[in-house]
Chains A and B, each alone.
Chain A
Amino acid sequence: MAFLRTEKLTKKFDGLCAVDHVTFEVPRGIILGLIGPNGSGKTTLFNLITGFSEITEGQVYFEDRPIGGLPAHTIAEMGIARTFQLVRVFQSMTVMENMMLGYKGHVGEAPWKAIGRGRRYAEQDAKALAKAYELLEVVGLAPVANERAENLPYAEQKMVEIARSMMGDPGLLMLDEPASGIAPTLVDGLLGYIRLLRERRGKTIVVIEHDMRVIMNLCDRIVALDHGTKICEGSPAEVSKDPSVIEAYLGGS
């Protein structure tokens, strides 16, 4: 049984077909890489799966339930977390406030409970805080927990974004170019963290990445897109030898 599955997923912008009948599966517990040249539809595919963009045709199944057409927050609530290509950490808030915001189902999200503050409010606050510190410890950001996110270097903001997405205990993590904009020396730490999430926490991860070295290192399986269609799928070794992939990347007639 596939954890996540798309079926003939299609997105048309006016005449342009950004994603064209893409069907693929993500088995539970793997790291799947999504590759393709610029404009091949990777981010659009992410947006369709996570509900940030409306599906023109086709369907997405998460744990065999159709989720196409549901609002983004509902899909996130069901257990699909995502990060963005350009970091989306809340700049005016501290690292810890960002983390606490990632906690799911706190009673204090309702204004009357935020005013009332019963016993459950305090319990959930403590739980969220403990969890946030635990996650920050792993990425080494606990010392800057009370620092505003805007004062952090870009690479650390990206780490916060990934750690924050873990606050909701998602089953599936979708990372849109986690290594972009990060100094090469820091990339290894990031990859280590992503691997850790899979190995120790059993997360299933889909990652978009440009850097072939990163992809080859990290992924169990790869799906390659070009011009919105799936051109190839397989293990890193298979995909890197595939003529259509080589052509898509290097060009050709």
Chain B
Amino acid sequence: MGFSFLLIHLATLVAIYGILAISLNLIMGVSGLFDMGHAAFFGIGAYATAILMTQFNVPWVFALAASFALAGLVAWVTGIPTLKLRGDYFAVVTMAVGEIARSVFRNWMDVTRGPLGIPNIPHADFLGVTFTPGMPFLGLAFVLLAIMLALSQRLIFSPFGRILKGIRDDEGAGVEALGKDSYRHKMHVFVIGSGMAGVAGSLFATYIGYIDPSTFTLWLTNFILLIIILGGKGNSIGAVIATALFVFLREGVRFLGLPTSIAAPLQQWIFGLLLILVMLFAPRGIVPERTDRWRAPSGPPPGPPV
């Protein structure tokens, strides 16, 4: 108990929010899509898992898959009309989607129990192992974080990822001229990233064991957005490092023994100051975006020059 218990708790939060940050990084950091409703997909994942496990006794693995699928599905529906719009309109619409999701969580009493929230969400279990909070769950969360990180790295450093960066760099016209369908690729990354947020939400629900609508707000989206800017837009490893920094700083302030009326604003102060410092001294973030590097192929060039 005590200190080590706290450390394990914080590390678990780093893993969960780390997945959320990786997923938003794909959408916003790599592809430049200003998604202001990301918390909604985290919430959809959390609610899907909570409802399936408490009311239908669905095994955790299937609830996890359903969270991924449902968050992805909602993203797909959102994307159909909005991904053809210019960047700023996309930001406004996703912000609205975030608010709609929150109000559905709060008002669809029969399903979500509204502000009462959903308590007693069972622990995750898989192949006979129950992942109770503490070391078992921490292990699970880190395995999932590692998988998501690996997936994200593969996506970023591939032809798919290069198209996304191209879309970010000039609003799509440049990649269209090279024969790439920008709408289709934006849709792919939006669905994948939102599905990943659903996975993070699913983990969150089984870890805390209780969810209510107050978690899934614009504030959470902003928090993750800040993490991505600090960590280095486009770099998923930076996103995880910045998540760790944030989570530990936020909790660290609590242990200074200050009254809440001072501690809460102090947190905001520290985050604000951090952001300014990073903007001043490391505008590309703590871990700047990495470019792919190649060496010239060895041997004689294939075919005649030009």
Is the contact region of chain B dominated by helix, strand, or loop, or is it mixed? Answer: helix
Asked if A201 lies at the interface with its beta carbon under 8 angstroms from chain B, I say: yes
Of chain B, the residue at the smallest CB distance from A79 is B179
Known: A100-B159, A101-B162. A77 touches B179 (CB 8 A): yes
Contact B165 A97 (CB under 8 A): yes
Query: Out of B165, B168, B174, B297, which one reaches A133, CB within 8 Å?
Result: B297
Question: Interface size on A (CB < 8 Å)?
Answer: 56
Asked if A50 lies at the interface with its beta carbon under 8 angstroms from chain B, I say: yes
**B201: min CB distance to chain A, Å:** 21
Residues of chain A from 151 to 201 with CB closer than 8 A to chain B in the complex: 164-165, 167-168, 196-197, 200-201
Asked if A235 lies at the interface with its beta carbon under 8 angstroms from chain B, I say: no
Residues of chain A from 76 to 131 with CB closer than 8 A to chain B in the complex: 76-77, 81-84, 88-94, 96-97, 100-104, 106-111, 113-115, 117, 126, 129-130
Contact A133 B296 (CB under 8 A): yes
Interchain CA distance A81-B178 in the complex, whole Å: 7
CB neighbours of B292 from chain A (8 A): 94, 96-97, 100
**B282: min CB distance to chain A, Å:** 16
Query: Out of A74, A82, A101, A196, which one reaches B163, CB within 8 Å?
Result: A101
Known: A73-B182, A88-B173, A101-B175. A114 touches B161 (CB 8 A): yes
Residues 267-301 of B, flagged 1 when their CB comes within 8 A of A and 0 if not, give 00000000000000000000001011110110001
Asked if A248 lies at the interface with its beta carbon under 8 angstroms from chain B, I say: no
Asked if A30 lies at the interface with its beta carbon under 8 angstroms from chain B, I say: no
**A108: min CB distance to chain B, Å:** 4
Residues of chain B from 58 to 92 with CB closer than 8 A to chain A in the complex: none
Interchain CA distance A94-B165 in the complex, whole Å: 11
Asked if A146 lies at the interface with its beta carbon under 8 angstroms from chain B, I say: yes
Asked if B160 lies at the interface with its beta carbon under 8 angstroms from chain A, I say: yes
Asked if B110 lies at the interface with its beta carbon under 8 angstroms from chain A, I say: no
Interchain CA distance A145-B176 in the complex, whole Å: 23
Is the contact region of chain A dominated by helix, strand, or loop, or is it mixed? Answer: helix
Contact A97 B291 (CB under 8 A): yes
Known: A76-B179, A90-B165, A97-B292. A134 touches B160 (CB 8 A): no
CB neighbours of A129 from chain B (8 A): 294, 297
**A63: min CB distance to chain B, Å:** 16
Contact A94 B291 (CB under 8 A): yes
Asked if B177 lies at the interface with its beta carbon under 8 angstroms from chain A, I say: yes
Contact A90 B305 (CB under 8 A): no
Query: Out of A82, A88, A167, which one reaches B170, CB within 8 Å?
Result: A88
Query: Out of A71, A101, A146, which one reaches B291, CB within 8 Å?
Result: A146
Contact B306 A138 (CB under 8 A): yes
CB neighbours of A108 from chain B (8 A): 158-160
Residues of chain B from 173 to 206 with CB closer than 8 A to chain A in the complex: 173-182, 185, 188-189, 192
Contact B159 A103 (CB under 8 A): yes
In which size bucket is the chain B interface? 35 or more
Interchain CA distance A82-B158 in the complex, whole Å: 24
Asked if B251 lies at the interface with its beta carbon under 8 angstroms from chain A, I say: no
CB neighbours of A17 from chain B (8 A): none
CB neighbours of A130 from chain B (8 A): 297, 301-302
Known: A93-B169, A200-B306. A111 touches B178 (CB 8 A): no
Interchain CA distance A52-B161 in the complex, whole Å: 23
Query: Out of B154, B169, B173, which one reaches A92, CB within 8 Å?
Result: B169
Contact A90 B294 (CB under 8 A): no
Contact A102 B165 (CB under 8 A): no
Contact A134 B155 (CB under 8 A): no
Asked if B37 lies at the interface with its beta carbon under 8 angstroms from chain A, I say: no
Asked if B166 lies at the interface with its beta carbon under 8 angstroms from chain A, I say: yes
Of chain A, the residue at the smallest CB distance from B157 is A114
CB neighbours of A111 from chain B (8 A): 155, 160, 188-189, 192
Contact A91 B169 (CB under 8 A): yes
Asked if A72 lies at the interface with its beta carbon under 8 angstroms from chain B, I say: yes
Contact A133 B169 (CB under 8 A): no
Asked if A22 lies at the interface with its beta carbon under 8 angstroms from chain B, I say: no
CB neighbours of B179 from chain A (8 A): 73-74, 76-77, 104, 168
11 more contacts with CB within 8 A, not counting A76-B176, A100-B292, are A71-B176, A90-B166, A90-B170, A93-B166, A94-B293, A100-B159, A110-B188, A111-B189, A133-B297, A145-B294, A145-B296
Q: In the A-B complex, list the 3 residue pairs whose CB atoms are closest, starting with the nearest.
A: A114-B158, A76-B179, A108-B159
30 contacts between A and B (CB under 8 A): A73-B175, A73-B180, A81-B177, A81-B178, A83-B177, A88-B177, A92-B168, A92-B234, A93-B162, A93-B165, A94-B292, A94-B293, A96-B293, A97-B162, A102-B178, A108-B159, A109-B159, A109-B163, A111-B192, A114-B158, A114-B160, A130-B297, A130-B301, A137-B301, A138-B306, A142-B296, A146-B291, A164-B178, A165-B178, A200-B306
